[in-house]
Chain A
Amino acid sequence: MDLVFGKMLDNLIIIGAILFCLGIYTVITRRNAVGILMGVELMLNSANLNFVAFSKFRWGMPDGQVFVIFVIILAAAEAAVALAIILSIFHNFGDIDVDTKDLLKE
């Protein structure tokens, strides 16, 4: 099956690139820690899309999909820990605005 605009691999990779950039934009502009977490999820998804696309249209091997499984697992772990950290920050500071948190400077 052919697509109207170019090859399937190109389409998927460009979608992945756009997703990645939107993720970066989200991470940079958001002040809310949860928003940043969402940006990270976008970037992880774009990476997954690349893995899957290359594994199918470049190598024809399922190894890329295995990586995606690992990424999904890590994303789940990351989300859980991030939520815990965010809650902890919230308990300690009363808000989760990351622009005002600069304890790392000390």
Chain B
Amino acid sequence: MLGIDFLGSQFWPLLILLCPLAAFVVQIFIGRFLPRKGDWVSLAAIGISLLISVACFAQVLIKKDPHFTAGFPSYQWLTAGMFTIKMGILFDNITAIMLVVVTLVSFLVHLYSVGYMHGDIRYSRFFAYLSLFSFSMIGLVLSNNLLSLYIFWELVGVSSYLLIGFWFEKVSAANACKKAFVTNRVGDFGFFLGILLIIFFLGKTEYGEVFNALKMSRPVDFTEGWLTFAGVCLFMGAVGKSAQFPLHVWLPDAMEGPTPVSALIHAATMVAAGVYMVTRLYPVFTPDALLVIAYVGGFTAIFAATIALVQNDIKRVLAYSTVSQLGYMVMGLGVGGYVAGFYHLWTHAFFKALLFLCSGSVIHALHSQDLRDMGGLWKKMPITFVAMTIGTLAISGFPPYFVSGFYSKDGILGATLALVMERPQHFVLAIFGFLGAAFTAFYMFRLIYMTFTGHPRDEHKYEHAHESPWTMTVPLMVLAVLSICSAGFFSGSEWFGDYVQKPESAVVMAHVPAGAHEAVAGSEAVHEGGHSTEHAAHQYAVILSILIVFISITLATLTYYHKFKKISAEKIAERLKPVYNLLYNKYYIDEIYEKFIIRPVVRFTKLCSRFDSGVIDGAVNGTAKATVFAAFATGQHDLKVIDGAVNGVAQTVIAAGKGAGMMQTGRIKNYFAWAVGGMVCILGLIYLLLLRR
């Protein structure tokens, strides 16, 4: 590639990292004064990062080595006693893939924002924040140890907070960003605890060193129980950042931010950070921890999908769909489908960003987010319509062998089915997976039908609708093409297996539960020609999921396509009123948190405050009063008894002092001068008596 070895030195990866940072600094300080308010600075910076990332990716592609790692040295940062923190860059296949995802989506979102945010009063500030986000996300991907991962993890959280609350005049946006930050904090607490546990037991932070230490020289007191606990703690970080149940509540609210932000952060990149982290630290997780991960992911997948069935806000549907898809990725990793899970991250990034940007285009045209205001838009916005349809086919896992989502989702379902066939007691996971897939197809087609087909429900808004400017449609087209061909140009998921392979678990079990480690499944098993159970599982999964998707799409069409309307959604909603309400109100999760967590905490805080002002202050004041009283008593004693005696003495002294009073001017300076004189005299005496020989 251009005759340059992009992976030969740290220069190029560092350049990828530092370009957005430079853009952020420029934008935040002088962005307002630049021509066009400096959007080109951010755009150019992320463009450079994108070009280098693609070049690196191409070189990785050419190498075709699943165990490729660029050997960069890491530098000592801090030393505290025996413990040393090193910083450095880790560049392997996973890094290269993630970098392309991050910079590409980021670049397209930058471009899209030029149109979408046009005329906003804090236009340059918005680009500054976008650059900050890109910087932190790239840093997160490039870091090679737990601590710098955590630092960038938090930076990503901060920039997400800034971007969600970008329109902070809106009360809902201000609340949403607070909610996102605080909810993430709960997860990050666990994450940090996990990191601390690993540092405590192993004294290492670098990924490779941690894995080696686990494998070779695990301390005796770092038992499997502790290791599972550490794994679950680490996973809590992913629960927060990747919006898994029960910390998913922030993501739907985060849609208060500008739509490009939703596409960039809350669909494609940041929420994938949790999944990426699990991928990175995969060898640390014990089979028990992985089971926890699988169940959380699977439950989230179906839980969020059911909510998405009945929402009426276009962005909320997509938000819950994101939560559900993230659940799929997490479940895929949990059941052992390492490649499938990460592969789903890669494909999902493109088609979910596409869907969000399409919804942004619709919102931009209609100035409304409510599905019930839409309809018949395909005539007005053909590009958006086609792009959105492609995105929908991709996310539903539509079988024709050219839409990306199909392969990745199939990989996950296959891995799940393999695990279930191996250990039937976990059959719930398979139900979660397949039902979730059915719901996904249903709500996405509902979205398409309600938005683009049928008769316009709001004539006035429909009249004003128009296709978006080119800066917005070009990213749509690019992403639509990518949604199709990110699955490896018609070749299925095999190509991915050439670059990403499941790492060996670093956990050496004392006694291996039956089939725990053999439950390697999914595309990998096929790729490696693994044994027949997995192969069969994969076959079943493909057939079953195609069947389910077709049934589900047919149902959606019968329900929502205006020409059929065989099934009345309203009637079903009426008949299943309690279920409908439960789903519509998102299982009342927010209300439950409000009632059982927030209010008790607030009450406890108030109690503490009352204790503080009542008891503690009271004690202090009481002491003060007692002191004052004691002082008063002393004062009385002073006046009556002592003064009497003293006055007597004083009378005589005054009489004597009158004579000496000549030099008493009452001015402190004169006293001082006398004191200095005395000092000089003493020094003189010392000199004369002791030192002069």
Chain A residues packing against B (C-beta within 8 Å):
24, 27-28, 36, 98-99, 101-106
Interface string of B667-680 (1 = CB under 8 A from A): 11100110010000
B668/A24 in contact, CB under 8 A: no
Main secondary structure of the interface of B (DSSP, over half): helix
Complex Cα spacing A28 to B675, Å? 11
What sequence of 0s and 1s flags, for each residue 327-350 of chain B, a beta carbon within 8 Å of any chain A beta carbon? 000000000000000000000000
Question: Are the CB atoms of B672 and A104 closer together than 8 Å?
Answer: no
Query: How many Å lie between the Cα of A22 and that of B298 in the bound state?
Result: 79
A99→B665 CA distance, assembly (Å): 10
Which chain A residue lies CB-closest to B668?
A: A98
Name 23 A/B residue pairs within 8 A (Cβ), A-sorted. A24-B676, A27-B669, A27-B672, A28-B672, A28-B673, A28-B676, A36-B668, A98-B667, A98-B668, A98-B669, A99-B667, A99-B669, A101-B666, A101-B667, A101-B668, A102-B665, A102-B667, A104-B664, A104-B666, A104-B668, A105-B661, A105-B665, A105-B666
Nearest 6 pairs between A and B by C-beta? A105-B666, A102-B666, A104-B666, A102-B667, A98-B668, A27-B672
Which B residues lie within 8 Å of A101 (CB)?
A: 666-668
Size class of B's contact patch? 10 to 19
Residues of A within 8 A of B676 (CB): 24, 28
**B672–A103 CB distance below 8 A:** no
CB distance from A34 to the nearest CB of B (A): 14
Q: How far is the CA of A25 from the CA of B464 in the complex (A)?
A: 84
Chain B contacts to A: CB under 8 angstroms:
661, 664-669, 672-673, 676
The complex places the Cα of A27 from the Cα of B666 at a distance, in Å, of 16
Give bound CA distance, A36 to B671, whole Å.
Answer: 13
What residues on B are CB-neighbors of A102 within 8 Å? Answer: 665-667
Give min CB distance, B462 to chain A, whole Å.
73
Contacts of A103 in B (CB 8 A): 666
The CA of A99 and the CA of B661, in the complex, are separated in Å by 18
Q: Which residue of B lies closest to A101 (CB)?
A: B667
Determine the distance from Cα of A24 to Cα of B667 in the docked complex, in whole angstroms: 16
* Complex alpha-carbon distance, A97 and B669, angstroms: 11
Cα distance, A98 to B467, chains bound together (Å):
82
Interface centre among B661, B669, B676 (most CB of A within 10 A): B669
Instruction: Tell which of B661, B668, B676 has the most Cβ of chain A within 10 Å.
Output: B668
Distance (whole angstroms) from the CB of B362 to the closest CB of chain A: 66
A101 and B672 alpha carbons, distance in the complex (Å): 14
Chain A residues contacting B664 (CB-CB under 8 Å) are 104-105
- Chain B residues positioned under 8 Å from A24 (CB to CB): 676
The residue on B at minimum CB distance from A40 is B672
